[in-house]
Amino acid sequence: MEVKKTHYDVLGLEPFSEASAIRKKYRELALLHHPDKSQSSEEFLPIQDSYTYLRDHKEEYDRDLRNDMLAAYSVEQEADEIDDYDITVEDSIQFVTFECTQCCSEISKETNPSSLYNCDICSKFYIIK
The parent domain of residue 105 ranges over 79-128
**Where do the DSSP E strands lie in the chain?**
80-82, 86-90, 93-99, 106-110, 116-118, 125-128
Count up the domains in the chain and report the number.
Answer: 2
Shared domain check, 96 and 59: no
Residue 112 lies in a domain: yes
Instruction: Report, in angstroms and rounded to the nearest whole number, the Rg of the chain calculated over CA atoms.
Output: 18
Closest CA to 1 of 92, 96, 83, 89: 96
Residue 1 lies in a domain: no
Shared domain check, 44 and 84: no
Shared domain check, 87 and 57: no
pLDDT digits (tens, 9 = 90+) for 55-102: 999 999 988 888 777 666 666 666 677 777 788 887 777 888 888 877
pLDDT digits (tens, 9 = 90+) for 4-60: 689 999 999 998 899 999 999 999 999 998 888 877 778 899 999 999 999 999 999
